[in-house]
Amino acid sequence: MTQTKNKHVTELIKFAKERFENFSDAETQEVFLTIKEAKARGLLRKQPPDRCLNQYVNAANYLLRTYSTHEFAEALTKNIDYLYAYIALVATNSITVTA
């Protein structure tokens, strides 16, 4: 399972670098730490945007809310914030990845 998750994260990062020229490994790490902390604090929920939350936590919550819909897939291809958040959600086991 961990191997599948790691492979998926690697593929996502490769896709992100191809899709968005401003994609940053440093930002990926920062978003990961933010999402990890949000998860530990119970801030990851299928809730509408909250202006008191970080943009990436709001993006993660949007993805959790729209998971398995066309809106989810569309968000990943159009907005780099959602892609960063998705990579962090996968890396923190907040979204399940299957082989």
Query: 97 in a domain, yes or no?
Result: no
Query: 99 in a domain, yes or no?
Result: no
List the domain range (segments joined by +) for residue 62. 2-91
Averaged over 47-76, what is the pLDDT? 93
Query: 98 in a domain, yes or no?
Result: no
Count of domains observed in the chain = 1
CA–CA dist 62, 55 (Å, integer):
10
Query: 96 in a domain, yes or no?
Result: no
Averaged over 72-90, what is the pLDDT? 92
- Stretch among 34-38, 39-43, 88-92, 93-97 having the lowest mean pLDDT: 93-97
Query: 85 in a domain, yes or no?
Result: yes
Averaged over 28-40, what is the pLDDT? 96
For the chain, report the end-to-end CA distance as a whole number of angstroms: 8
Query: 86 in a domain, yes or no?
Result: yes
What is the reported pLDDT for 77?
86
Query: 12 in a domain, yes or no?
Result: yes
Residue 1: is its pLDDT beyond 70? no
